[in-house]
Every structure is written in structure tokens, then in C-alpha cells.
Amino acid sequence: MKNGIIGSNSEKFFMAQHSSKGARFQAVTANRLLDGEVVYLAADNSWTEVFSEAEIADGPEAGEALLARAVPDGFEKQVLEPYLFEAIEDENTGFRPVSVREIIRAKGPTVRLDLGKQARRQAQG
């Protein structure tokens, strides 16, 4: 890890087990500073609101490399608390998050389908 602050963040969240030890596919997520929106690190190192645009790392080393890319100098001007989480291959969508937590983060509250990312997607058709 690059420095103390960043190291403590990613370590802490990795420890919180958003990924299992044997996870093969992982992506990096965070919350955007200005509004807390859930975002994912994309292939071009930008942050995207949509999980399907997230870069998927294959294998633990690729995962760590992806997380390192998420925390360049000054990353905190854009996002909070980036961490790795586990994804699996999905017939229909390519990949999907594994845990209920990350599925809910990728969509919105299951009790308010009119709110969060899921609502925007519906509105766009």
C-alpha cells in the first residue's frame, strides 16, 4: 500500500470480508465523495456508477493490483473507502456481485425499487 491512510482503509475493508479467500474474480468499489453514490473502478481508471462497466480482476494478484490502481495520490478527492469485493460469472450479464450486500449496493434498496441505480435503469428503459 502506498501510504498510511490508504493502507488502513483498504486493509480494514479487506478484513471485513467483502471478498472470500478463494475469490477468483474481484472488482473495486467505493462511494463517491460528493453524494455517496456507489461507484466502481473501470478499465480506464475512472469511476463508473454501473457495475457492468467495472473492471474485473482475475486472481488474487490481479485483485491487489486493481486495488492499488484505485488509490493513486489524491484519490480521496473523488471517492471514499475503496475495497475489493467478489464477483462471479453470470450467463446473462457477464459478471455479478456474489454477496447480498454488493448486489444491493449495485441496485438500490430492495424495499424501494423506485430509488437507487435500479430506478434510473428503469427510467432509461
Partner 1 sequence: MYRYDEFDHQLVAERVEQFRGQVERRVSGELSEDAFKPLRLMNGVYLQLHAYMLRVAIPYGTLSSRQLRKLAHIAREYDRGYGHFTTRQNIQYNWPALARIPDLLAELAEVEMHAIQTSGNCIRNVTSDQYAGAIADEIEDPRIISEIIRQWSTFHPEFSYLPRKFKIAVTGHAHDRAAIKLHDIGIVIVRNEAGEIGYEVHVGGGQGRTPFIAKKLAEFVPKDKLLAYLEAVMRVYNMLGRRDNSYKARIKILVHETGEEEMRKLVEAEFAQIDASKMLEVPQAEIDRITRYFEPPAFETLPAESAAFNKAQADDAGFAQWCRTNVVAHRQLGYSIVNISLKPIGGVPGDATDVQMEAIAELAEAYSFDELRVTHEQNLVLPHIRLDDLKAVYDRLVTHELATPNLGLISDAIACPGLDYCNLANARSIPLAQEISNRFADLDRQYDIGELKIKISGCINACGHHHVGHIGILGVDKKGTEFYQISLGGSADEHASLGDITGRAFTEDTIVDAIETLVETYVGLRHADERFIETYRRVGLTPFKERLYAE
Q: Which residues bind partner 1 (CB under 8 A)?
A: 5, 8-9, 20, 31, 33-38, 74, 76-77, 80-81, 86, 98-101, 104-105, 108-112, 115-116
Between CA 92 and CA 103 the distance in angstroms is 15
Between CA 46 and CA 70 the distance in angstroms is 9
Least distance CB 110 / partner 1 (angstroms): 6
Least distance CB 118 / partner 1 (angstroms): 10
For CA atoms 109, 114, 116, 117, the dihedral sign is positive
Closer to partner 1 by CB, 20 or 43: give it.
20
* Angle at 111 (CA atoms; ends 109, 112), nearest 5 degrees: 70
Closer to partner 1 by CB, 43 or 96: give it.
96
Closer to partner 1 by CB, 73 or 91: give it.
73
Backbone angles phi, psi at 97, to 5 degrees: -65, 155
